[in-house]
């Protein structure tokens, strides 16, 4: 049993001092006790030695949306083309050309490195939106779920919690045009997708008890509208994630083909609820934002990637005021940072509305509201029993470094405000995922071997490009 003593901890009831957390061998929180003591912050002598003593203990959030292989592209797409105009769509063409070089071994090495970085910045779980299924020519591997198995293998190396979402991606657009060269590695028809999902389920079942799966129709552009009922049946109550309303051109294509905007069509046709996580939603009108928020579906936000790709601003103020749930993800993994994702979300609201503390309330500071929302929404998006320091849930935990100059003397919600708006990943000291203590003193326990393998993979890729 792992025993943690925290000077202060964020519990479901709020902040508490002198907290003891026991984690069972099954990776779940066995007990949480708030101790009374007259010795200030000191750990009672009878509890010294066998305990991990920390300053600030927090639930560790879920990274709700990742395309792991894109981490290897970070920094390689920041130039304009010959026509001096660059957009999401030109970036996508570069991405297609890049992924044609990737082997299963490459994907495993890159994914393990990405997951290590996620853990080091405070995420305990990764929800992998996985669409790189086949060989470069579009032919399946001998094992149809080969690439899914490599995501699972990477999670076994990194120790991160995993919700694997194999993606159904059948068409190149709303007109059902065939997939082009760069998309052929993604393609599945419904029958093949069902078999691929079954293979992914078997692979994940061999990993760890906290690992899970879900279903991911890539987008309204890439999936026929009559396929959604079959995909929902395949989910069997597990999470369903969908790219929705990310780009203006995407909205225009849907209007031309369906006669409705993407969010309008989803609300009218799919009746989304808490099982659904809609990724991005940066192109919504006010009535769409309000309607989707009230549906119970989660908004899966990736503010760093959305800024990097010029997607637009999510209307977080309107969304939260209508009771919407949100989760945070790193998407393209151009920069993996929990604090920066939350900061970018808040700053995007301030820049749009010429305001400050845009997402704060009279009861909660900005940092506290953002962190609480990311915890609750991430739990829902991953289909994972986590997000709180309470008995019975998975022990997904993180600690912050009290010696950081920006945390010195801070307590309660000021800790979260300082972490998000003045801090960086260096504040994260420890991370447990389902009780696996994989980050200690700010570094992953297997950083050296994971990084060496990634460096070698990148050297080989750079020669091939």
Catalytic residues, which ones? 280, 331
β-bridge partners, 453: none
Q: At 394, list the tokens.
A: 């998975």
> Which residue bears the tokens 């969304």?
319
Contacts of residue 222, Cβ cutoff 8 Å, sequence gap at least 6: 168, 169, 170, 171, 172, 173, 186
Determine the Cα angle at 90 with ends 331 and 110, to 5°. Answer: 40
For residue 316, give the 3-state DSSP assignment: helix
Q: Tally the residues of the chain.
A: 465
β-bridge partners, 221: none
Helices 190-205 and 228-235: crossing angle, nearest 10°?
Answer: 20
SS3 readout for 35-79: CCCCCCCCCCHHHCCCCEEEEEEEECCEEEEECHHHHHHCCCCCC
Closest C-alpha to 333, from 60, 73, 64, 61: 73
CA atoms within 13 A on the CB side of 27: 20
Tell me whether strands 428-433 and 397-400 are parallel, antiparallel or unpaired.
antiparallel
Instruction: Say which DSSP state 33 is in.
Output: E
> Which residue bears the tokens 């007990």?
31
CB 8, CB 56: distance < 8 Å: yes
Contacts of residue 296, Cβ cutoff 8 Å, sequence gap at least 6: 272, 273, 274, 276, 325
């Amino acid at each position: 049993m792992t025993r943690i003593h925290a000077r202060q901890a964020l519990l479901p009831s709020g902040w508490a001092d002198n907290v003891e957390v026991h984690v069972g061998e099954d990776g779940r929180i066995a007990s949480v006790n708030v101790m009374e003591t007259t010795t200030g912050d000191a750990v009672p002598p009878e509890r010294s030695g066998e305990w991990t003593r920390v300053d600030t203990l927090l639930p560790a959030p879920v990274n709700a949306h990742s395309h792991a292989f894109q981490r290897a592209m970070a920094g390689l797409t920041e130039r304009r083309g010959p026509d001096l105009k660059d957009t999401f769509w030109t970036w996508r063409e570069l991405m297609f050309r890049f992924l044609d070089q990737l082997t299963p071994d490459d994907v495993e090495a890159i994914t393990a490195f990405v997951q290590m970085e996620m853990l080091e910045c405070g995420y305990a779980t990764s929800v992998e939106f996985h669409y790189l299924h086949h060989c470069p020519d579009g032919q399946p591997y001998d094992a149809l779920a080969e690439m899914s198995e490599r995501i699972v293998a990477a999670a076994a190396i990194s120790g991160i919690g995993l919700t694997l979402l194999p993606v159904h991606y059948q068409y190149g657009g709303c007109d059902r045009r065939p997939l082009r060269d760069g998309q052929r590695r993604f393609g599945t028809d419904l029958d093949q997708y069902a078999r691929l999902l079954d293979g992914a389920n078997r692979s994940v079942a061999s990993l760890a008890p906290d690992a899970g799966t879900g279903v991911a129709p890539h987008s309204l552009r890439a999936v026929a509208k009559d396929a959604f009922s079959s995909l929902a049946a395949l989910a069997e109550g597990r999470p369903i994630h969908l790219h929705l309303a990310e780009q203006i051109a995407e909205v225009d294509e849907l209007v031309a083909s369906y006669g409705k905007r993407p969010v309008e069509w989803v609300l009218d046709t799919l009746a989304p609820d808490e099982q659904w996580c809609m990724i991005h939603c940066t192109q919504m009108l006010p009535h769409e934002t309000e309607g989707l928020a009230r549906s119970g579906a989660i908004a899966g936000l990736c503010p760093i990637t959305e800024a990097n790709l010029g997607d637009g601003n999510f209307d977080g103020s309107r969304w939260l005021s209508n009771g919407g749930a949100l989760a945070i993800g790193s998407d393209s993994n151009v920069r993996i940072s929990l604090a920066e994702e939350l900061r970018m979300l808040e700053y995007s609201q301030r820049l749009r509305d010429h305001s400050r503390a845009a997402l704060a309330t009279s009861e909660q500071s900005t940092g506290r509201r953002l962190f609480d929302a990311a915890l609750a929404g991430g739990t829902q998006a991953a289909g994972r029993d986590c997000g709180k320091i309470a008995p019975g849930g998975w022990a997904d935990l993180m600690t912050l470094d009290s010696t950081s100059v920006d945390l010195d003397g801070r307590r309660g919600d000021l800790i979260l405000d300082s972490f998000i708006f003045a801090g960086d990943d260096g504040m994260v000291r420890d991370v447990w995922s389902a009780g696996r203590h994989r980050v200690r003193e700010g570094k992953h326990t297997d950083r050296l071997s994971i990084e060496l393998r990634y460096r070698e993979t990148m050297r080989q890729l750079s020669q091939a490009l």
